[in-house]
Amino acid sequence: MLLLFLLVLIVPVLLSWPLGYAMARVIEPGRGSGFGRLTSGVFSKVGGLAAVEEQEWQRYLFSMIMFNVVMFVFVTIILALQQWLPLNPDAKGPLEASLIFNIAASFVTNTNLQHYSGEVSMSYFSQLFGLMWLQFVSAATGLSALAALARALGGKKTVGNFYSDLMRTTCFVLLPLALLVALLLLAGGVPMTLDGAVIAHTLENATQTIVRGPVAALEAIKQLGTNGGGWFGPNSAHPFENPSFFTNMVACISIVLIPMAAVWMFGRITGRMRDAVVIFSVMMALLVLKCGAVIWLEGAPAPALAGLPVEVVSNLEGKELRFGYGAGALWAAMTTATSNGSVNCMHDSLNPLTALVPLAGMWMNVVFGGVGVGLINMFIFIIVGVFICGMMVGRTPEYFGRKVETREMTLALLALLVHPALILGGTALFAATPAGAGTVLNSGAHGFTEILYEFTSAAANNGSGFEGLGDNTVSWNIATGMVMLLARYIPIILPLAIAGSLSEKKPVPVTAGTLRTDTLLFGLIILGSVVFIGALLFLPVAVLGPVADHLTVNMH
Amino acid sequence: MKTMLTFRNFIRQSAASLRILPFTVVICSGLYTVIVLLAAQVVPYSATGSLLCSEKGEVIGSELIGQQFTRPEYFWSRPSAVSWNAAGAGGSNLSPASLAMRQRSENLLGAFALKKGEKAPADLVSASGSGLDPHISIASARFQASRVALARGLSIDQVMRVINDPACGKITIALLNESLVNVLQLNRSLDRLQK
C-alpha cells in the first residue's frame, strides 16, 4: 500500500522536472532557436500573420476566446449531425439539443462532465473528431493562458501569440506524450479498433453485446490533458478503459504529470524558479494530505454491511478489484486535485466522510489543478496572500517587483468569488426546487451531496460526478453548461487582466522591506489563504452534506 | 483595446481560427488516431477487445468483461448494478450507508446459504464500479468452491487446484500481494476439465 502511494506520487514529481523544462523550451523557443523559426514559418502558412505576431494581453485573450468559440461551434455541428456522419458502426442516433449544448460546453472548457454514456450515445466519429480533438486543444488553451500569464508577470509588454502557443503545445507537448501513453495502454490491453460491438454467447447461453472502439487513443489524452471524459459511462472503472493494475498506474501518473510540470514551466518562463519551488511545495503538501486522508477514510468498511455476516474489509461498493486495495480512493484524491475528473471507482458510493476529500479538492481547485489553469487559480491566492501581508506591515504590496493596487485587488476578489457564487448559488437553487431535488438517487444528506458535487464539479471544470444523480435533464444540462462556461473563462480573463495591468507598471526596486515571495514563510501564507479563503467558504455546505451524512449513519 | 475591436482585426482573427481548426483536427484526430491504430496491429488480440472464443469459433465473451453466472456449477461474478450489460455499463451509485444497499446485500447473502458462523467475502456483496468487473477475490473463489465441487461432482481439492492455477485465470498483483481470479476463464477451465 505504501509502495503504491509512493509510486503514484513520486514518479510524476521526478518526471515533471524535465518535462517542465521541455515545455518551457517548446512554448518559448527564443529568437535564436531553429525550432522556433521553423514552427513559426509553418504556423504563419497555416494561420496567416495573425498566428505568429506578438500580441498584447488583450489581443491574446481575444484570440483565445475567438478560437474557443470556433471550437464550440465545430463540436456542436459534429454532435448534431452524428447520425449522418461516418465511423458509426453501432448506428448511434441523434442527441437531444440541451445535451449537445452541455457536451459542447463541457469539452470546450476542459471539464468533461458527462451527462451521457459514451457507449450508449456516441458514434466513433463524435468521440474521435469532436471530443478527443477538444481534449487536445482545450488542454492546450489552458497551457497557453498560463504561458501568457507567466510572460506578463515576467515583465513583458507583449505576451506571445495565442495561436502559436496553442499549436506548439498541441503538437510538441500533448501529442508526443499522448502517443507514448497510448502505446503503454495498448501494451496493457486497452482496445483500439474501429470495429463495432460484438455479440457474445456466454457460457450460460445468454447473449452479451460488448461495445468496443478506438479507446486507447482517447484514453491517453483524456488523462494527460486533465480532461477526464471517458469512452464508456463508468469511465476508468470500465475494464476496457483500464484493464489492469499496470494501466491504472500509467493513468494515475498521467493525471498529475502535466499539471505538475506546468509549475516548473511557469518558473522557467518568469525566470523565478525559487517561487516555483514554493508554489510546487504548497501544492504537493495539499496533495499528500488529500491522498492520505482519502485512503484512511475509505479504508473503513461500508456502513451498510455492519452486523451482516460479511468479512470486514475496506468499502468495495463501486470499486473494481484489479486496481488493488486503496487505488480507487487514491485516484479519487488525484482526479479532484487536478481538474481531471476521470474516476476508477464510483464516487457516489464512497464512504460518507470520504466524499469531503474530492469535494475539498475541487473547492480549492489549486492542488496542481487543470493543465495551466490550476496555477492561474493559484495566482489569485498568491495575490491575496501578498495583499494581506502588505496590509499587516502597512506597505503597498508588491508581486514580482510590481505594486499590487486597488485595480488588481478588485479583479482578484471578483475572480475569487466566482467559484463559490456558482457552486453555492446553483446548489441552493437546485436543492430547493424539483429541478434538482427530484433527480437524486440517494435520500437525505447524501442526496444533497449529489447536487452539491455536481455544481462543484462543473464550477471546478472537473467533470467527475456523483453519478446516482439523474442529470440528463434539460434543467441540469443548461445550468451546468452555463456554470462550466462562466467558471472557465472568468478565472482566465481576470488573472490575465491583473498580470497585464501589473506588467504596465514601473518595476519597484527590491529593498530590505520587500516581502519575498520565494520563502518558506510565504509558502505558509499561500497555504493559509488557500485553506482559509478557498476552503472555509464551503464549510456550511460541507456540514450539510458529507458530515451530516456521516453523523446520521453512525448515530443509529 | 481599440485595435482589438476593429473590423479588420476581427476578420484576421476569425480567418486564423478557421484555418487552424482543420490543421489541428487533422493532426489530433486523424494522424494521431491512425498511428495508434497502426500500433494496435501488433497486439491484435487485446486491441479488438480480448475476445475469447469457443472451440467452434463462436465468441463467448471478453477476458476483460465480466458476465452473469447463476448456475451452481459456475463461480459467480461480483454483483452488477446493470446486469452485466456491456453496452451500458455502470455502478449502483448507492450510498454505502444506505438502506437500499443493506437490503440488496441481505438478498445476496440469502442465495449463499451460509453455514452458522460463516462469513461471505465483501466483494461478493458489493457491486463493482463498472458492473463488469471480470474478477473475484481469491477468498471469494474459495468461498464458492464447495458449491461448485458439489454441483460438478468434483472433489474440493480438484476445484481448488483449478482456482490456484495461473493458466485458469488467477492473477496476483505483485506490488500489493493480492490475488484475484478471472471468473470467465475459471469457469471455462472447469468446463474443459470435465468434457
A124-175 pLDDT tens trace: 999 999 999 999 999 999 999 999 999 999 988 899 999 999 999 999 999 9
Q: What angle (nearest 5°) sits at the alpha carbon of residue B62, between those of residues B59 and B68? A: 95
A503-537 pLDDT tens trace: 999 998 888 888 889 999 999 999 999 999 877 88
Backbone φ/ψ region at A229: left (φ over 0), alpha (ψ -120 to 50), beta? beta
Taking Cα atoms as reference points, which of A96, A71, A122 lies closest to residue A475?
A: A96
Kindly write down the DSSP assignment for every residue of A319-365, as one continuous string. --STT-TTHHHHHHHHHHHSS----SS-GGGS-TTTTHHHHHHHHH-
Q: What is the per-residue burial (b if ≥16 Cβ within 10 Å, else e) of B150-170? A: eebebeeeebbebbeeeebbb
Q: What angle (nearest 5°) sits at the alpha carbon of residue A22, between those of residues A130 and A226? A: 35
Mean pLDDT, residues A482-489 taken together: 97
By the 8 A CB rule, do B124 and B112 touch?
A: yes
pLDDT band at A2 (very low <50, low <70, confident <90, very high): confident
Q: Measure CB to CB from residue B62 to each of A167, A186, A210 and give the nearest one.
A: A210
Distance CA A13, CA A159 (A): 28
B22-60 pLDDT tens trace: 999 999 999 999 999 999 999 999 999 999 999 899 999
B84-138 pLDDT tens trace: 999 999 999 999 999 999 999 999 999 888 988 999 999 999 999 999 999 999 9
Distance CA A210, CA A334 (A): 30
Instruction: Name every residue whose Cβ is closer than 8 Å to that of residue A100 and which is 6 or more positions away in sequence.
Output: A76, A79, A80
Taking Cα atoms as reference points, which of A362, A399, A359, A396 lies closest to residue A549?
A: A359
Calculate the alpha carbon distances from A549 to A541, A556, B194 in Å.
12, 12, 51
Query: How far is B122 from chain A, CA to nearest CA, in Å?
Result: 6
By the 8 A CB rule, do A348 and A441 touch?
A: yes
pLDDT band at B5 (very low <50, low <70, confident <90, very high): low
Return the amino acid letter for A462. Answer: N
A422-472 pLDDT tens trace: 999 999 999 999 999 999 999 899 999 999 999 999 999 999 999 999 999
Instruction: Decide if A441 and B94 are in contact by the 8 Å CB cutoff.
Output: yes
Distance CA B56, CA A204 (A): 16
Dig out the grid coordinates for A499 from the structure: 498580470
Distance CA A325, CA A329 (A): 9
The 10 Å Cβ neighbour count of residue B5 is: 10
CA A81 to chain centre: 28
pLDDT reported for residue B195: 79
Query: How far is A72 from chain B, CA to nearest CA, in Å?
Result: 11
A244-298 pLDDT tens trace: 999 999 999 999 999 999 999 999 999 999 999 999 999 999 999 999 999 999 9
Instruction: State yes or no: pLDDT of B6 exceeds 90.
Output: no
A196-242 pLDDT tens trace: 999 999 999 999 999 999 999 999 999 999 999 999 999 999 999 99
Dig out the grid coordinates for A471 from the structure: 442529470
By the 8 A CB rule, do A508 and A397 touch?
A: no
Rg (CA), chain B: 25
Average pLDDT, chain A: 94
Instruction: State yes or no: pLDDT of A84 exceeds 90.
Output: yes
Residue to substitute from B130, B136, B148, interface A, most A β-carbons within 10 A: B130
pLDDT reported for residue A544: 96
pLDDT reported for residue B144: 96
Taking Cα atoms as reference points, which of A26, A24, A44 lies closest to residue A35?
A: A26
Distance CA A225, CA A218 (A): 11
| pTM metric for this prediction | 0.96
A360-400 pLDDT tens trace: 999 999 999 999 999 999 999 999 999 999 988 888 899 99
Structural domain spans, chain B: 3-42, 50-193
Structural domain spans, chain A: 2-256, 375-555
By the 8 A CB rule, do A188 and A250 touch?
A: yes
Kindly write down the DSSP assignment for every residue of A408-473, as one continuous string. HHHHHHHHHHHHHHHHHHHHHHHHHSHHHHTT-SS-HHHHHHHHHHHHHHHHTT-----TTS---S
Q: What is the per-residue burial (b if ≥16 Cβ within 10 Å, else e) of A378-402? A: bbbbbbbbbbebbeeeeeebbbbeb
Taking Cα atoms as reference points, which of B72, B41, B80, B76 lies closest to residue A239?
A: B80
Instruction: Name every residue whose Cβ is closer than 8 Å to that of residue A240 and which is 6 or more positions away in sequence.
Output: A190, A191, A212, A215, A231, A232, B49, B64, B65
Taking Cα atoms as reference points, which of A53, A99, A60, A92 lies closest to residue A76?
A: A99
Q: CB distance from B26 to chain A under 8 Å?
A: no
Dig out the grid coordinates for A259 from the structure: 499539471
Q: Measure CB to CB from residue B92 to each of A170, A200, A318 and give the nearest one.
A: A318
Number of residues in chain B: 195
Instruction: Decide if B49 and A346 are in contact by the 8 Å CB cutoff.
Output: no
Distance CA A124, CA A87 (A): 5
pLDDT reported for residue A554: 66
Instruction: Decide if B50 and A191 are in contact by the 8 Å CB cutoff.
Output: yes
A28-39 pLDDT tens trace: 998 788 999 999
Taking Cα atoms as reference points, which of B87, B47, B48, B41 lies closest to residue B67?
A: B87
pLDDT reported for residue A394: 86
Q: CB distance from B61 to chain A under 8 Å?
A: yes
pLDDT reported for residue A426: 97
Q: What is the per-residue burial (b if ≥16 Cβ within 10 Å, else e) of A243-279? A: bbbbbbbbbbbbbbbbbbbbbbbbbbbbebeebbebb
Kindly write down the DSSP assignment for every residue of A38-80, as one continuous string. HHHHHHHHHH-GGGTS---HHHHHHHHHHHHHHHHHHHHHHHH
Distance CA A302, CA A304 (A): 5
Instruction: Decide if A318 and B105 are in contact by the 8 Å CB cutoff.
Output: no
Taking Cα atoms as reference points, which of B134, B62, B65, B46 lies closest to residue A183?
A: B46
pLDDT band at A340 (very low <50, low <70, confident <90, very high): very high
pLDDT reported for residue A3: 79
Distance CA A141, CA A65 (A): 10
Of residues A534 and A99, the one with the higher pLDDT is A99
Specify the residue for cell string 446553483: A426
pLDDT reported for residue B4: 58
Q: CB burial class (10 A; 0-12, 13-18, 19+) of residue A539?
A: exposed
Dig out the grid coordinates for A116 from the structure: 451521457
Backbone φ/ψ region at B31: left (φ over 0), alpha (ψ -120 to 50), beta? alpha
Closest residue in A to B65 (Cα) is: A239
Q: What is the DSSP letter of B136?
A: E
Instruction: State yes or no: pLDDT of B175 exceeds 90.
Output: no
* E strands present in A282-332: none
Q: CB distance from A292 to chain B under 8 Å?
A: no
Return the amino acid letter for A130. Answer: G
Mean pLDDT, residues A66-94 taken together: 96
Instruction: Decide if A179 and B35 are in contact by the 8 Å CB cutoff.
Output: yes
By the 8 A CB rule, do A111 and A458 touch?
A: yes
Sign of CA dihedral A250, A252, A255, A261: negative
Calculate the alpha carbon distances from B14 to A50, A65, A68, A490, B19 in Å.
10, 11, 11, 22, 8
Average pLDDT, chain B: 94
Q: Measure CB to CB from residue B97 to each of A211, A467, A553 and give the nearest one.
A: A553
Q: Could you tell me which residues are beta bridge partners of residue A201?
A: A207
A300-309 pLDDT tens trace: 999 999 999 9
Backbone φ and ψ for A201, nearest 5 degrees, come out as: -105, 110
Write down the ipTM of this complex: 0.95
pLDDT reported for residue B77: 97
Distance CA A25, CA A538 (A): 39
Residue to substitute from B36, B42, B43, B51, interface A, most A β-carbons within 10 A: B36
